[in-house]
Amino acid sequence: MLKRNMVLLGKVLGATVLSAMITVGAAGTVKAERAELAVSDCAKCHEKEPVTIAANESMHKTAVTCLDCHLEHGPWGTEIVPQCSMCHDPGDKTHFALDDCLSCHVDPHNPLGIVFEGERVKECLTCHQQQGDEFAQYPSKHSEQSCNFCHEKHGEIPDCSRCHEPHAEGQVMADCLACHPAHHPLQIVPDITTPRAFCVPCHEEIGELMAQTTTKHQTFTCAFCHRGSHPTVPQCRGCHGEPHGAAIHKKMPECIECHMDAHFLQK
C-alpha cells in the first residue's frame, strides 16, 4: 500500500513539475515575442556603430536613431538593413537617384566620411552644379580632370602648389586664387593691389620696361591700369583725358605716337 502511494505521489509531483515547466516555457516565449527594443539596448551588442555615429557629425547622428533606420531585428524581422531610399527619395534630389550609394558613402553610420575610387565627375556635379557650369563655360586643363583629381577627399581644398609652381617667390594659395578662380582659372581678374611681381614672370619684357621708366607709371601696379578681366588694354584718356589742344589730338589720336610706350613712357 505504501509503495503504491509513493508511486502515485511521484506521478503527481512529476506531472506538476512538467506542467510548471510548460507554463514557464510558454510564458518565456510570449515574453520574447512581445519584447520591444529601446535605442539604449542597441549599444549592448553593437559597440562600433554607436561610437562611429557619435564621433561624426551628420543627420544620421542628429535626426534619426538606430530604430528609425533598422525597423526590425533578427531572427524574426527581414527589414534589418535599410535601403537608403527609405529616407533619401530619388524624386527629391538628383543625387539620391545615383546607383550604389555605398561606393562613396562607404559607412552609413558616417555618411559624410566619403571615399572616392576611380574618376568621379557626374556624381559630384549632382550636388556641385555651379562648379560644373563654370567648367563647361570656361574650358581649361582643370575642366579636363576628374573632380577627385584635385579633391582627393570630400571637402578638401587642395593647395595650388601641389600641381603648379608659383609665379613669384613667396606666393601662397590666397595669392593664386586672387587672380585665378579654381574652376575657371583662365578668367583672370586681378585685384588692383596685386603686386607687379606676380605679373612680370609671364610678361617679362613689360616688367623690364616698367623698371626703367621714370614716370609715375613706374609706381603703379599692373592692375591699376589693366583693370577687369585679363587681358584688358586701357585707353590713356581713361586717366589723362585730353591734356593737349584739340588740334594735336586730332593730328595724333594715338598717345603712344609721341609718348612711345605706356610701360616706358617718354614725356
Total-model pTM = 0.69
How far is it, in rounded angstroms, from Cα 230 to Cα 222? 11
* Residue 176 neighbours by CB distance under 10 Å: 19
How far is it, in rounded angstroms, from Cα 120 to Cα 103? 11
- Of 261, 255, 251, the C-alpha closest to 240 is 255
Cell 573632380 sits at which residue? 147
Q: What is the pLDDT of residue 264?
A: 87
- Of 264, 190, 173, 196, the C-alpha closest to 231 is 190
Q: What is the pLDDT of residue 17?
A: 46
* Residue 64 neighbours by CB distance under 10 Å: 14
Give, in degrees to the nearest 5, the angle at Cα 139 between 138 and 140.
Answer: 115
Contact indicator for 185, 227 with CB cutoff of 8 Å: no
The one-digit pLDDT tens for each residue of the chain (267 residues) are 545 545 454 454 455 545 555 555 555 555 555 578 899 999 999 999 999 999 999 999 999 999 999 998 888 888 899 999 999 999 889 999 998 999 999 999 999 999 998 999 999 999 999 999 999 999 999 999 999 999 999 999 999 999 999 998 889 999 999 999 999 999 998 989 999 989 999 899 998 998 888 888 888 999 999 998 898 898 888 888 888 888 888 888 888 888 888 888 877
Q: What is the pLDDT of residue 229?
A: 87
How far is it, in rounded angstroms, from Cα 264 to Cα 182? 34
How far is it, in rounded angstroms, from Cα 115 to Cα 111? 10
